[in-house]
Structure 1
Amino acid sequence: MPIVQFAPLSSLVEPAFWHALTDLKIDVLRLDDAAVPLTASYAAGRSVTDRETGRAISLGCNLSLGGEAFRPRLQLPPHSVPVAGVFKNFNTIEDFKAADKTALVNAVTDEIWKSIVGERSTAQLSRFLLITFADLKKYKYYYWFAFPAFVAKPAWEIDGEWKAADAEFNEATLETIQKELHTNPRPFFLVRTSSGKPELAPVEEYDTFFANVPEEQHTVAFLDPSAAPANPGWPLRNLLAFLRALHPAATARVRVLCWRDTEPPAAPGGWKSRFGVLHQGAEGLLAEKPAAVGWEKNVQGKLAPRMADLAPMMDPTRLADQAVDLNLKLMRWRILPALDLEKVAKTRCLLLGAGTLGCYVARTLMGWGVRTITFVDSARVSFSNPVRQPLFEFEDCLNGGKPKAACAAERLKKIFPGVNATGHSLNVPMPGHPIPPASLEQARKEVETLERLIDEHDAVFLLMDSRESRWLPTVIGAAKGKIVMNAALGFDTFLVMRHGPRAAAAAAADGARLGCYYCNDIVAPADSLTDRTLDQMCTVTRPGLAPIAAATAVELLVSLIQHPDGINAPAPAPQSATEAVESRATESVLGLVPHQLRGFLAQFRTLPVTGAAYNRCTGCSETVLRAYETEGFEMLVKAFGEAGFLEALTGLDKLSEEVEAAMEGTDWEQEDEDDF
């Protein structure tokens, strides 16, 4: 009699699985190479008809692995059954190549054999193994499947040949089986027809189900993933091993139904399922675990791994989206497991100023994974900008120059399409710059736009090139409880600081209130832009200063975001380095969260400074904030145009008078020159 030839399983891996593996590797497994459970599925084999020859062509005996393979509960395709598997990812290609393939397969076959003889269960009969190495920088995945199947000695033979199922069973029987499997798909089952109608049962009930049933009515069936007319699918091999191990006396001859009909046939006699009677000699009894085979061959027909290269077939935007954060995720799982990257990515940042500081801040924010960046600037790109401002090019300067804010946002999207970048050309009204009556309505709209933008963002960066331009966003940011980051440049010095929260928020956090940019001043910001010389019109700094200050500002923001108190994080007290590490101020996983950082490039030195809030501050004092909240735009107009208004509002004028009075009342004794 002919020896039965089984159609081997062939892996069918969806691209979504590799994306799921990427996430699992970076977010969960990291360097862990322990085995992980996963679930695949297979359905009845399918074939198509060749239009030229009219012959049926089998589509393969496939086991499918999708994007949900690592989930505990798999959403199966219609008419499919789940298959449990073991997944093992190696950290290097060398480890993948050197893996002990025999030991790995033996571990799986031990579990299959245990489920047979120990648990008398068919649940693990199709258990498989998948080993991989994921090259996440190139999006290449090396993988090798093993579908372990026990070797039958002697080999199974078939009585005659495989034939159509309707040659053995009548239409009513096949329709009943089909209806049952349609509502309750199962990989293996038993069929008997002794009562005149077909009945189905799990294979585990072999003895009781076939008790007192003539042998010619015993049928063992399975969902067959093969569509080949003369080759049953791979799962049948371990099903036969199960029968020989547990029911040796009754299974030397086995009637097998290979079920392949998920839909009713189009015409009578069109059933695709196959039937055959298999034989094995008495020496085929299984007293101990037999040898197993099952490593999948590659596309060249060799026993070797396969490789999936997703880069050419992936949408470049999606490829970039997964790749840009790779450094951040590696940082988290190798060094800082507590780093909350999602919180950083969701932080919406408003950059007031799209010049040298704005460009470098934006690039560093993107490096940290921030996805929402909005620019505000009223200027256009000039010929002096591109060499110092990395988001602009020479072409942006032509024809009067592109608007800086929109141009910077457009360039960010070219760098990374996944960023939500927008630009707004907007003049920010300033103290010391009165608004003409004809421009009041325009100024009101500009203030409303700025208020709306600050409302829509979580962090505001003050990156302008004048002192007075920072006043209005300082007031609005403080009133709305936003994180305000400030960066200012000198020739070889810089200041980076975070504005402290409002007094009520600081009191609720039981901490000393930190000051803002204006808290050290005893005068209000005034016009510093009129009648400037050429060197005052440009920000004259050492070229390396702006990138240092910009990066420092972003790093301070991220450290603040990671602190459990957020905007209310206290500034570290003056301490030694050892004491600072142990203090509450370093609860951020990234270390210190200082109030101010003053950099001196001439000495290559950075000093942390803490400045208390001033109750007469023209930018963040409660007096100013309440006046803004109560009077709104009318109060702002006074601040913009009336000299001395902010001093009078906050009491700085009285302080000045008191100081002058004290100076006048002091008896300044002049020492005689002869005393020297």
Structure 2
Amino acid sequence: MSDNLSYVQISSSVNPSFWNKLSELKLNVYKLDESKHSIWGYHTIINSTSCPITLMEVDSTSFNREFTAHNQYLPFHGWILNTNTIEQFKECDKVELINSEGHKLYQHIINEDVFKDTSLLNRFFILSFADLKKFHYYYWFSFPVPRHVVVEKIDACDLENVFSPEEVETLHSAYKNLDCTQRSYFIVKKESGKMLEICTLAFQLKSITLEDKDNYYFVFHNISNDKNAVGSPFRNYVAFLLYYCDFLQNKIVNFISFNLSRTGSQVTCRKSIVYKLKLPMKTKDFYTSWVGWEKNERDKMGPKLANMKNTLDPSVIAENAVDLNLKLMKWNLLPSIDLDNIKKTKCLLLGAGTLGCSVARTLLGWGVRDITFVDNSTVSFSNPVRQSLFTYQDSVDMKSKSKAAADNLKNIFPGVNSVGHQLTIPMPGHSVGESLLEQTKESVKKLTQLIKDHDAIFLLLDSRESRWLPTLIGNVENKVTDGFIIKTGS
């Protein structure tokens, strides 16, 4: 008694580097774009006894333009659609999406693209939403296959029951010589008294007739680790064969489920299985109705959630979060703003008091990464309640205000490059005694060099006199110089 051939649904495996790369592309390339983007997946071709699940994996290299050929992997062609909101993710028409992907596969079949690259029959699609503030990634994989491909299993036996040991070795050697684009699906021709022939689909398929079909074995790389079932992409192979060999409808056809296994250091294909399968009749919606959405962890139809908050580098999280807020403002409010230029601007803050602390925090919020403080005093007990970069312990330790401000700014955001210099700025009208002359000269020299080394100078000092010299040097060096003053009373 014959039974229908069993299929094993592919399970997705997402490397954390995939989400890192998606986040980077969302911020810097995709932005608000919701179009589909091509990606790659891969399956390890050597069956593992320790992993009974059929895995298709993606990682950071999945976004490369070309698949990195590797003898250990079979490529999967895929697309990702990353929505901008969770509402859009939920409202996407899943039936329309998978039928659309199935139609693309059908176009590859009728346009003969599959002859050039048989791995086009191995397809997947990801619908996703990346909540970059929380580092939550909602995603749903689909592996589109035609709904109505029901194949009847007539017989199944080990490869060595049909082929001699020499022929098995010939098959394995020929497989290794195939181009990676032809390894997923190919043809074996076996005629009595003749040597075994291994052919690509492009070379042999169209010459097969109903009369000589029994001399041919249609080979597929079985991605299933279950000996009693085949991977779901086999249905795409059947749909492809019936398109070009219409006469195979309702006929018994030879197939080889090609399986590589490792025994010690040796890799063989001896555990491959030969099937006699009765192919279905094509219905009117044979190429228009598709299925293949992956089930979630609860074994129900629905998306999965990858919470990456605890696995990503905290400093990377902080930096991306700062950039995200700024880019959201840019996209929605100020498209012309040059955030990269702001980020690269080196800012010199003369004064680390109430104004200096507030300006530093504001610059940090705008993505500035280089902030230098200059001040000549220490933290007093009255400072922490008014000046946001100081603590009570700073006043107890009598820390230099410039150095304490720089250190505490790094505690707020580790990605900032912040340093402090304790320096007294000479003022007009304030005489300099003989004992302070050399020190004053050194102060002027150091102040001049600091202004030269920075792009924007903020004058956050207590008086007009203290701002005079930095303003003069800033004008001479053609630097952006900005001053602030707090005026009280009348």
Report the TM-score range of the alignment, normalised by the length of the smaller protein: 0.7 to 0.9
Q: 1:32-43 alignment to 2 at 5 Å?
A: 32-33=33-34, 35-43=35-43
Instruction: Pick closer, same or farther for the CA change 1:7–1:456 going to 2, 3 Å.
Output: farther
Aligned residue in 1 for 2:371? 373
Aligned partners of 1:377 and 1:272: how far apart in 2? 78
Asked if 2 retains the 8 angstrom alpha-carbon contact of 1:146 and 1:295, the reply is: yes
The answer to whether the aligner puts 1:146 opposite 2:146 as a matched pair is no
Structure 2 counterparts to residues 238-277 of structure 1, below 5 A: 238-250=236-248, 252-261=251-260, 266=264, 270-271=268-269, 274-277=272-275
DSSP-derived class of the 1:374 partner: strand
CA distance in structure 1 between the partners assigned to 2:158 and 2:228 by the alignment: 6
Instruction: Look up the SS of the partner of 1:43 in the other structure.
Output: strand
| 1:236-293 residue CA offsets vs partner (Å, 9 max, x unmatched) | 22011111222132573443344444x9753668546523223115x52466535332
Residues 1:7 and 2:4 aligned together? no
Distance 1:354 1:254, change over 3 A: farther
**Cα deviation 1:1-57 (Å, max 9, x = unaligned):** 343222211112222332333344444555554x41221222334455xxxxxxx23
Task: Give the residue type in structure 2 aligned to 1:38.
Answer: S
1:131 pairs with 2:127:
yes
- Is it true that 1:383 corresponds to 2:381 in the alignment? yes
Distance 1:330 1:269 in 2: 52
Q: CA deviation at 1:294?
A: 0.6
Counterpart of 1:446 in structure 2: which amino acid?
A: S
Pick the aligned partner of 2:358 from 348, 357, 360: 360
Report the Cα offset of residue 295 of structure 1.
Answer: 0.8
* Secondary structure in structure 2 of the residue aligned to 1:325: helix
Equivalent of residue 160 in structure 1, options 132, 136, 156: 156
Select which of 304, 308, 311 maps to 2:309: 311
Alignment partner, residue 453 of structure 2: 456
Equivalent pair of 2:156/2:273 in contact (CA under 8 Å)? no
Structure-1 residue corresponding to 2:392: 394
In the alignment, residue 13 of structure 2 is paired with which amino acid?
L
| TM-score for the superposition, normalised by structure 2 | 0.87
Structure 2: distance between partners of 1:315 and 1:476: 42
Matched with 1:72 is 65
Whole-Å Cα distance in 2 between the matches of residues 78 and 360 of structure 1?
A: 58
In the alignment, is the contact (CA less than 8 A) between 1:257 and 1:273 conserved in 2?
no
Match of 1:87 in 2: 80
Supply the AA of the counterpart residue of 1:315.
D
Q: How many angstroms does 1:330 deviate by?
A: 0.9
Tell me which residue corresponds to 2:185.
188
In terms of fraction of residues, the more strand-rich structure is 2
Post-superposition offset of 1:167: 5.8
Q: 1:253 to 1:422 in 2, by over 3 A?
A: farther
Answering whether residue 474 of structure 2 is matched by residue 481 of structure 1, we say no
Q: Deviations over 1:295-340 (max 9, x none)?
A: 1011121111111111122222211111122221111111222221
| Partner SS state of residue 13, structure 2 | strand
1:487 corresponds to which letter in structure 2?
A: F
Cα gap change, 1:184 to 1:382, in 2 (>3 Å): same
Letter in 2 for 1:87: I
Alpha-carbon distance in 2 for matches of 1:206, 1:185: 13
Structure 1 pair 278/197, CA: closer, same or farther in 2 (3 Å)? Answer: closer
Partner of 2:218: 220
Amino acid of the residue matched to residue 36 of structure 2? V
Native 8 Å contact 1:39 1:82 kept in 2: no
Structure 1 position 218, deviation (Å): 2.2
Distance 1:222 1:336, change over 3 A: farther
Structure 1 counterpart of 2:428: 431
Return closer, same or farther for 1:288/1:98 CA change in 2, 3 Å cut-off. Answer: closer
The match for 1:322 is 320
Please give the root-mean-square deviation of Cα atoms over the aligned residues, in Å.
Answer: 3.2
Equivalent in the alignment of 1:508:
none
Corresponding letter in the other structure for 1:406: K
Secondary structure at the aligned position of 1:478 is classed as helix
Structure 1 counterpart of 2:255, one-letter code: V
Shift of 1:71: 4.7
Corresponding residue to 2:281 among 281, 284, 291: 284
Give CA deviations for 1:202-240 in whole Å, capped at 9, x if unaligned: x24443565899645523333443333333222222011
Q: How does 1:400-439 map to 2 (within 5 A)?
A: 401-439=398-436
Supply the distance in 1 between the matched residues of 2:266 and 2:482 (Cα, whole angstroms). Answer: 78
Superposed CA offset, 1:618-649 (max 9, x none): xxxxxxxxxxxxxxxxxxxxxxxxxxxxxxxx
**2:444 corresponds to which residue?**
447
CA 1:233–1:134: 2 relative to 1, 3 Å: same
Bigger radius of gyration among the two: 1
Deviation track 1:554-579 (CA, whole Å, cap 9, x = no partner) reads: xxxxxxxxxxxxxxxxxxxxxxxxxx
What CA distance in whole angstroms lies between the structure 2 residues aligned with 1:396 and 1:164? 80
**What's the counterpart of residue 98 of structure 1?**
91
Give the TM-score taking structure 1 as reference length.
Answer: 0.64
Q: Partner residue of 1:662?
A: none
CA 1:268 to 1:114, structure 2 compared with 1: closer, same or farther past 3 Å? Answer: closer
Aligned to 1:621: none
How many angstroms apart in 1 are the aligned matches of 2:352 and 2:440? 21
Q: RCO greater where, 1 or 2, for CA within 8 Å and sep 6 or more?
A: 2
Q: Single out whichever of 231-240 and 186-195 deviates more from structure 2.
A: 186-195
CA contact (8 A) 1:409 1:423 kept: yes
SS of match in other structure, 1:307: strand
Aligned counterpart, 1:582: none
Shift in Å, 1:124: 4.0
CA contact (8 A) 1:353 1:464 kept: yes
Matching residue of 2:296: 298
Aligned to 2:198: 199
Indicate the SS of the match to 2:89: helix
SS across alignment from 1:103:
helix
* Residue 539 (structure 1) aligns with: none
Task: State the partner residue of 2:227.
Answer: 229
- Secondary structure of the residue aligned to 2:121 is coil
Measure, in 2, the Cα distance between the counterparts of 1:272 and 1:138. Answer: 49
Q: What does the per-residue CA deviation read over 1:71-107, in whole Å, with 9 as the maximum and x for residues that have no partner? A: 5335466643443333333343333333321122121
Identity value in percent: 37
SS of the residue corresponding to residue 229 of structure 1 reads coil
Distance 1:165 1:32, change over 3 A: farther
Does the aligned pair in 1 maintain the 2:156–2:276 contact within 8 Å?
no
For residue 63 of structure 1, the aligned residue among 26, 48, 56 is 56
* Contact 1:191/1:200 (<8 A) preserved: yes
Q: Does the CA-based 8 Å contact 1:132-1:141 persist in structure 2?
A: yes
What are structure 2's unaligned runs of at least 5 residues? none
| Residue of structure 2 in register with 1:116 after alignment | 109
- Distance 1:259-1:44 versus aligned 2 partners, 3 A rule: farther
CA distance, structure 2, for counterparts of residue 424 and residue 475 of structure 1: 20
SS in 1 for 2:484: strand
